[in-house]
Amino acid sequence: MIAFLKVLETIVENKIGHLNPAILAHVITNRCNLRCKYCVFWRRKFDEEPSTNKVFSVIDQAEELGISFYSVTGGEPLLRDDIPEILKHAHDKGMVTTLVTNGILLDKQLESIAPHLNALSISLDSHLAEHSTHRCDAETYWKIRKNIEMAAECKKRHKNHKVNINTVISQINLHDLDALVKLVDELDIGITFEPVVTMVPESPTLAYDEDFKHVIDTLIEMKDSDYPIWNSKRYLELIRDSKTFDCCSFLLVRLDPDGNVIVPCYHPEVTTRVGTIHERTLKDIIESDERKRALMKSKECHRCYLTNYAEASLIYNNIFKTGLEQFRLWVEA
Ligand SMILES: C[S@@+](CC[C@H](N)C(=O)[O-])C[C@H]1O[C@@H](n2cnc3c(N)ncnc32)[C@H](O)[C@@H]1O
Ligand code: SF4
């Protein structure tokens, strides 16, 4: 609850002209045990990663700046053995902690991360192994499915611990989405959707055609019938109608494993480095002219519907509708 009041405070500060972030989105490693066809991270170089102490220092600086969400991603974050300590450090400071994983290593790491985690997001694009070959082979797919069931069970033992699957929509799985919603409903967890952003030639694609609109309408009906779809209704309408939104990327600080803060996101066509934590404090980077200039340029980007960016922007731009809808979801869960 305190974290959400802090977010409200950040939103008000931004409305009166500051560019203060609410979320530290930390790409803690580029290493990965998968090679998903739409992904850019495993294609990057792997040599630089922050030490545990450096991560602690960044978390401390973020907390002092009033950032209330610490969101760990990658690459595959569970490849780092220090993830439980890192999450504990942020959680003990009162930050809301989230982690997104491909789920392969959950059987090894789940029990040690769960006590320090507010929300665990596991990637799964289909209820069918044969529609998941752009992510992994069938054996790995079924291991991930088993680990998702384990996470659903674990959630029951941890108060305020939420679990969802994150599904990237493409032509491959377009007709699997309602089955996935029913699957997560049975497991008593949630689901979020985001359309694929084609960043590399091998990536699956998505046509925003009548077929797509029909599928999204079905998801909206399912959400109205209380299926656990955690995207806001406004987000689902936005993607259905292929509308644009003002990207409020200033709400997120994105930190790469090599220590660079990037603006606005990891899309290769727009990503800009605005400073490194090895040379400057997080505060200096956040307040720098480089960041302000890059943010101004990105406001009208219109290249993606990545949920982190689009949902945060929708909340910021429609605080009394989307903001309260999403707030209810977090407080009730
Ligand atoms: C980059 S991954 C990192 C965390 C972890 N390795 C995983 O797969 O969940 C975070 C999320 O981004 C999604 N993702 C990766 N590339 C994407 C793309 N081109 N378009 C949309 N989502 C993408 C993944 O499916 C995953 O849900
Ligand atoms: S598991 Fe995640 S980081 Fe790894 S290749 Fe797939 S989407 Fe990228």
Q: What is the 3-state secondary structure (H, E, C) of 65-112?
A: CCCCEEEEECCCHHHCCCHHHHHHHHHHCCCEEEEEECCCCHHHHHHH
Q: 12 CA distance to ligand 2 centroid (A)?
A: 35
Per-residue pLDDT of the chain (333 residues; tens, 9 = 90+): 555 555 656 655 555 455 579 999 999 999 999 999 999 999 988 778 999 999 999 999 999 999 999 999 999 999 999 999 999 999 999 999 999 999 999 999 999 999 999 999 999 999 999 999 999 999 999 999 999 999 999 999 987 789 999 999 999 999 999 999 999 999 999 999 999 999 999 999 999 999 999 999 999 999 999 999 999 999 999 999 999 888 888 889 999 999 999 998 888 888 899 999 999 999 999 999 999 988 888 777 777 888 888 888 888 777 555 555 655 555 444
What pLDDT sits at residue 6?
Answer: 58
Residue 43 phi, psi dihedral angles, 5° rounding: -85, -10
Report pLDDT for 286: 94
Which of 34, 35, 39, 305 to probe ligand 1 with, by most ligand atoms within 8 A of CB?
A: 39
pLDDT at 333: 43
Q: Check if 103 has its Cβ closer than 6 Å to any atom of ligand 2.
A: no
Pick from 35, 36, 206 the residue to mutate for probing ligand 1's pocket: most ligand atoms within 8 Å of its CB.
Answer: 36
The pLDDT of residue 239 is 95
At 228, is the secondary structure helix, strand, or coil? Answer: coil
Ligand 2 atom 3, closest CA: 75
176: Cβ below 6 Å to ligand 1? no
pLDDT at 303: 76
Look-up of token digits 């450090």: 89
Q: Which atom of ligand 1 is nearest to the CA of 41?
A: 1
Asked if residue 199 has its Cβ within 6 Å of ligand 1, the reply is yes
Query: Quick one: pLDDT at residue 3?
Result: 55
CA-based nearest residue to 195, from 307, 59, 78:
307
Asked whether 76 lines ligand 2 (CB < 6 A), one says yes
Report the separation in Å between the CA atom of 105 and the middle of ligand 1, taken as the mean of its atom positions: 16
pTM for this model (two decimals): 0.92
Tell me the two tokens of residue 68. Answer: 């209330």
Q: How confident is the model at residue 165, as a pLDDT?
A: 98
pLDDT at 325: 61
